[in-house]
Structure 1
Amino acid sequence: MRAREVCVHAVDLDGGVTFADLPEPFCAALLDDVARWRGARPGPALVLVTPDGVREIPGEGEPSRVELRSPPPRPG
């Protein structure tokens, strides 16, 4: 939990770190957590389209399609 906070705040504080600099498994887990959190609250349904797949977040009404783009995975 602390590592997640530190990584997200490093991006928030504009310290030269972006989400593209963070490990892909970390970003995927963070996106899953945010999707779960968002799905438990009232609001429109969402369909998140990312380079590694599609995540559907339940909600009220027809889903809005939100496409998240990121740089291609880094080699190595």
Structure 2
Amino acid sequence: MEFLGVEFSASCGGGLAIINRNWLTPRKKNAFWPPYKTQSVYEKALKTGETPNEANWKIYPVSRCFFET
């Protein structure tokens, strides 16, 4: 499992988050975000490295990456 700490662009509301590496796009400029409403379901997706479903996962611009594990 690989995780990243990212900062989302202010143009989409900003914020910091930990994401799974496979949620990052190949150019590392955007990240997919799961549509889950509960923390437990989000954490399960994060830990298992759930593959983004482009039909219902939103994509947000990433302004920088703070760390990778």
TM range (shorter): under 0.3
TM-score (norm 2): 0.22
TM-score, structure 1 as length reference: 0.21
Q: Which has the higher contact order (CA 8 A, sep 6+)?
A: 2
Which is greater in Rg?
1
